[in-house]
A and B are shown apart, each in its own frame.
Chain A
């Protein structure tokens, strides 16, 4: 089955939920459509939503909640 990685467009800190007291945007096994939000990146006191650029099922998150990330780093792996 084909795989696809969602790549971070920005450096910063990755969050898998909109705020600490809310559930995660997506979990492993969830289906996603193009444009679905899969995480947040905090940078320069702003939060940037990460949207899926493919439709599929989430195979795994490649970074943890609150993990530092670099631009170009794969964040999520999808099964297409």
Chain B
């Protein structure tokens, strides 16, 4: 009941819906960057929505199966292959014992979710199977997969079968430019009115160093700060504050130059002001952004953010209903 890693890809990690409840101790939630795609992959193979899957970024792994299994791949468009025969994404398919699952070159998106019926059976760490690589916690030995790793599988449900499909209208992917809705935050007053407008007017590009900790953007105009005497305990740069808590999705702009949106492996606090927070409904989209993708930040109100969250919940309900 195992799969063996014959090629690891760029950075392939075990992820589930994460490890809430420890951020105050500096341990982030981790889990899939695109939770919608992760849930969809699990539903396609008859798993609980939060079962552990593999998250493969930009490049797929090659996996040798020692047992017959039902598999589904969602998220990024990276066409799966079973012994070099192409399979569809967002559609469950069978892999037989002895066969190898591998992937074509990435066509769009950034992260593929590979769900296997029964789920990846790594030990729970603080209530989750997610990998937090920076902290060496969870997943397979707290790290990304390497060649010859062996992963155990859980017991597949009776409902697991091939040919289950999710219609394109129930999938979500970023547009071009990608649009990320942001609620201005407590420190918005630190930038000038002109800079505040520029931030939303400018088109930014995803920096190549963007990762699970944070997505960095560049290419927009530098922010100008409102003059002040820096308070006691804050660093000397105008983008510094007295240390504060960093929410998931918060947008810090060190030195006023390159916004960083904190994501699932975020640090929990520090001394950079935050312009605002990307709303929860759009966090999944960030997980599918490739480097150099043109991106706009769109201002929303709290009411707008709540409405978007309901909309996303409704889409998930629709997805579940379509598979019943």
- Which of A's residues lie within 8 Å of B, judged by CB? 7, 9-13, 42-46, 48, 68, 70-72
With contact pairs A11-B58, A44-B209 given, residues A68 and B107 touching in the complex (Cβ less than 8 Å): no
A48 near B10: Cβ-Cβ < 8 Å: yes
Are A10 and B209 interface neighbours, CB within 8 A?
Answer: no
Q: Which residues of B contact A68 (CB under 8 A)?
A: 208, 291-292
In the bound complex, do residue B11 and residue A44 qualify as a contact, i.e. CB atoms below 8 Å apart? Answer: yes
In the bound complex, how far is the Cα of B11 from the Cα of A48, in angstroms?
A: 12
B290 touches A13 (CB 8 A): no
Beta-carbon contact of A9 and B209 below 8 Å:
no
14 sample A-B contacts, Cβ–Cβ < 8 Å, listed by A number: A7-B105, A9-B59, A9-B105, A10-B59, A13-B208, A42-B209, A43-B10, A43-B208, A44-B11, A44-B58, A44-B208, A46-B10, A46-B11, A72-B106
Measured between beta carbons, the chain B residues less than 8 angstroms from A44 are: 10-11, 57-58, 208-211
Distance in angstroms from B221 CB to nearest chain A CB is 20
Measured in the bound complex, the distance between the Cα atoms of B57 and A56 in whole Å is 31
B255 to chain A, nearest CB (A): 19
**B291 near A11: Cβ-Cβ < 8 Å:** yes
Point out the residue from A7, A12, A46, A72 that lies within 8 Å of B107, measured CB to CB: A72
> Are B208 and A71 touching (Cβ within 8 A)?
no
Q: Is the CB of B106 within 8 A of A71?
A: yes
- B300 shortest CB reach to chain A, Å: 28
**Known interface pairs A11-B292, A43-B291; A72-B57 also in contact (CB < 8 Å):** no
Interface of B is mostly: loop
Closest chain B CB from A36 CB (angstroms): 20
Identify which of A7, A10, A46, A68 gathers the most chain B CB atoms within 10 Å of its CB: A10
In the bound complex, what is the Cα–Cα distance between A9 and B292 (angstroms)? 16
A12 touches B105 (CB 8 A): no
Using Cβ atoms and an 8 Å threshold, which residues of chain A touch B211? Answer: 44-45
Give bound CA distance, A70 to B76, whole Å. Answer: 14
What is the CA–CA distance of A71 and B291 in the complex, to the nearest angstrom?
10
Complex Cα gap A50–B10 (Å):
13
Which single residue of chain B is at the shortest CB-CB distance from A67? B292
Among B57, B105, B107, B210: residue with most chain A CB under 10 A: B105
Q: Which of B11, B209, B290 contacts A11 (CB 8 A)?
A: B290
Known: A11-B290, A71-B59, A71-B107. 20 other contacts (CB 8 A): A9-B59, A10-B59, A10-B106, A11-B106, A11-B208, A11-B291, A12-B291, A13-B208, A13-B291, A42-B208, A42-B209, A43-B208, A44-B208, A45-B211, A46-B10, A68-B208, A68-B292, A70-B292, A71-B290, A72-B105
Please list the 10 inter-chain residue pairs (A to B) with the smallest Cβ-Cβ separation, ordered nearest first. Answer: A71-B106, A68-B292, A44-B211, A11-B290, A72-B105, A45-B209, A12-B208, A13-B208, A71-B105, A11-B291
B267 shortest CB reach to chain A, Å: 15
